Amino acid sequence: MSSFTETLRQQQLEIARLRSELSKHQAFLDAVKVHIWAFDGTQYTYTNRQWFEFTGQNPNELLSIERWISAVHPEDLEASTAIWLAHWESKTEHENFFRLRRHDGVYRDFYCHAIPVCNANGVFEYFQGFNLDITDRKKAEEEIKYLAFYDPLTGLANRRLLTDRMGQHLAHARRAAELVAVCMIDLDGFKQVNDQFGHKTGDLLLIEVARRLQASMRQSDTASRLGGDEFALLLGGFTKVSECEQLLQRIIANLAAPYAVNNAIAHVTASIGVTVFPNDGNTPDLLLRHADQAMYEAKHAGKNCFCLFNPSHLNQQHSNQAMLIKIGKALQSGQFVLFYQPQVDCRVGKVVGMEALIRWKHPILGLLAPSEFIPLLEHDDLIIGLGEWVLLEALRQQKRWREAGVNLNIGINIAARQLHQGSFVARLVQLLADFDAEVIHQLTLEIVETAALEDINVVADAIRQCRELGLHVAIDDFGTGFSSLAHLKHLQVDTLKIDQSFVLGMLCNPQDRAIAKGVIGLASSFDYKVIAEGVESLAHVQMLMDMGCDVMQGYVIAHPIAPADVLDWLNKFEPNPFWRIDHA
């Protein structure tokens, strides 16, 4: 026997041994969802049942290399054959990835792992391996990748992909000496759509917004949804800002067209802030911040428009930031103080309460009024901390006065942001825990009308809970916020405070007078108390009393008083003989 025939015979024996070895595990091999195989260089000398089921091939046929090639996806053939050939040469263990065609023509993804098998003398004989169907895993991975980079509702890029793409856009623009416009979009009126038509319609509208954005832009531009009704765009390929302005006008007009969604016609517009690379900044972070700032300016400019970033406004923002830091430190170091302005029932000639009004005892600038710092704080969570300090300080003062034999209601002002933090009532409960019921029952929360109307259901609920805690609630600056009767019925409060602008104007302006009269009438029909603020003269007092409002707060009675002087003021207080005191 020639050595060739001998080798062949030994090989066949080995294959037979391998087959019988494998067949011992046949049940297992058939059960696992992998193709198991042995390959000798020209044909597959073994394949398990999974392979036959997958390809639909006759189990009695051995699988030839040609047959395998015809099953591989044409796009994967070159790469996977190259890997195979390289390892056939070196006879080394390897991995491969390819798609194989199933008997129904559908391609599935496979991971292939192959190891060389040698005989007892260490001479290579064949490759043995398995193909694992990884289609589902790949799909799941792709889905995860999709979720990590795309907004699932609209299919637009998310913030992560946007920042990623920004890097590419900026690098390209740098090479091509072009401009990139980074735009931040916030929809105007989206909340109303959600409130009026429900979230499902809101979602459909957002999908349509995404579609319109993509339709307005070039393929190479990027549209992204950052969350809620906030979108961002990267627009490239400009050399002049004016070219980008035309495109923005078009986007604004497209987004402002009515939306027919879910059998409803909804309307939203867009406020867009735009910053231009490289003119306004060169990092994604900075550009996004600038665009965001410009977007707020578009909102202030009346919405449904775009604003280009203006660097001089940035200085303002920097100084605002510095101011916020100073206010935070002032709060920690006890530079705030509450002044108290008396509220007097003129008909009975008695002080019935005090409104606590905050002042900042600035070490250099002196006593600062709230108008110098509250508006800046309204957009920052610091107002919550400050509001909580006001509450505690007012309650402490209340306790001190009670110890001195003075029993007065104290009103404190609640900022909109404080009221709308999700945990407003829960925080109140914590803060009130250290105080006796009598102290708590003489506290009034003043909520400005405009803040009460924002999200009225939530506010109505919070007010109800506050009153259950024994607190009183007043609507401050009433008349400025367009409350309807229906709103008022919904908001169960104790007191309406007529806004001082109507009081101040009522002597010479019939409309102001009519509004003041209207508020007094409303309060009486709902059985609410009414307080007039900004009462500056005896003529005001008399006119208000004629209209049916007896409780007043204003300079004609007293300016806000420093805490140390309050008891003294109260001791000296005498009703004005010109008030129409009712002695009955």
Binding site for ligand C2E (CB under 6 A): 341, 357-358, 369-371, 374, 387, 390, 413, 415, 446, 476-477, 500, 533-536, 553-555, 560
Nearer to Mg ion, 205 or 474 (CB): 474
Minimum distance, C-beta of residue 269 to ligand C2E, in the bound complex (Å): 30
Beta carbon nearer to Mg ion, 128 or 413: 413
Question: Looking at beta carbons only, is 188 or 476 nearer to ligand C2E?
Answer: 476
Report the b/e string of 421-444 with b at 16+ CB within 10 A.
eeebbebbeeebeebeeebbebbb
Residue 507 interface partner, choices ligand C2E, Mg ion, none, CB cut-off 5-8 Å depending on type: none
For residue 524, count CB atoms less than 10 angstroms from its CB and return exposed for 0-12, middle for 13-18, buried for 19 or more: middle
Residue 129 touches which of Mg ion, ligand C2E, none (Cβ within 5-8 Å per kind): none
User: Residue 370 Cβ, how far from ligand C2E at the closest point, in Å?
Assistant: 3
% helix / strand / coil in the chain, to the nearest 5? Answer: 50, 25, 25
CB of 535 to ligand C2E, least distance (A): 6
Question: Strands, E, within 119-177: which ranges?
Answer: 124-133
**Shortest spacing between CB 416 and Mg ion, in angstroms:** 13
- What pairing do the DSSP bridges indicate for beta strands 350-362 and 34-39? unpaired
The partner residues of 238 in beta bridges, in order of sequence, read 179
Query: Taking the complex as a whole, how short is the minimal distance between the CB of residue 360 and Mg ion, in angstroms?
Result: 17
- For ligand C2E, give the closer residue by CB, 162 or 561: 561
Token reading at 453: 């109307």
Residue 296, Cβ density class (10 Å: 0-12 exposed, 13-18 middle, ≥19 buried): middle
**Helix axes of 424-432 and 456-468: crossing angle, nearest 10 degrees:** 20
Q: Which does 357 bind (CB under 5 to 8 A by kind): Mg ion, ligand C2E, none?
A: ligand C2E
Closest separation between CB of residue 522 and ligand C2E, Å?
18
Are 409 and 394 contacting, i.e. CB atoms less than 8 angstroms apart?
no
Residue 388's binding partner among ligand C2E, Mg ion, none (Cβ under 5 to 8 angstroms by kind) is none
352: exposed, middle or buried (C-beta count within 10 Å: 0-12, 13-18, 19+)? middle
- Give 234 or 358: the residue with its C-beta nearer to ligand C2E: 358
- Spatial distance between the Cα atoms of 237 and 497, rounded to a whole number of angstroms: 57
Task: Look up residue 266 and give its DSSP letter.
Answer: E
Stretch (H or E) spanning 504 = helix 500-505
Closer residue to ligand C2E in complex, CB, 135/509: 509
Structure tokens at 561: 């008083």
Among ligand C2E, Mg ion, none, partner that 371 touches (CB below 5 to 8 angstroms by kind): ligand C2E
The C-alpha angle 304, 308, 310, rounded to 5 degrees, equals 130
Using CB distances below 5 to 8 A depending on partner kind, what does residue 530 bind out of Mg ion, ligand C2E, none? Answer: none
Of 154 and 341, the one with the shorter C-beta distance to ligand C2E is: 341
Sign of the torsion angle spanned by Cα atoms 381, 382, 386, 389 = positive
State the residue number with the nearest CB to ligand C2E. Answer: 554
Instruction: Give me the count of residues in the chain.
Output: 584
Q: Which is nearer to ligand C2E, 279 or 332 (CB)?
A: 332
| Shortest distance (Å) from residue 163 CB to ligand C2E | 36
The item of Mg ion, ligand C2E, none sharing an interface with residue 358, based on CB under 5 to 8 Å by kind, is ligand C2E
Of 186 and 476, CB closest to Mg ion: 476
Q: Rounded to whole angstroms, how far apart are CA atoms 177 and 244?
A: 15
> Could you give the CA distance from residue 377 to residue 158 in angstroms, rounded to a whole number?
30
Residue 448 CB, shortest distance to Mg ion, in Å, is 7
Q: What is the DSSP string of 488-534?
A: HHHS--SEEEE-HHHHHHTTT-HHHHHHHHHHHHHHHHHT-EEEEE-
Rounded to a whole number of angstroms, the minimum distance from the CB of residue 558 to ligand C2E is 9
- Closer residue to ligand C2E, CB minimum distance, 140 or 367: 367
Look at residue 48 and give the partner it binds from Mg ion, ligand C2E, none, a contact being a CB closer than 5 to 8 Å depending on partner kind: none
Rg (CA), the chain: 39
Beta carbon of residue 351, minimum distance to Mg ion (angstroms, whole number): 17
User: Which residues contribute to the site for Mg ion (CB under 5 A)?
Assistant: 413, 446, 476-477
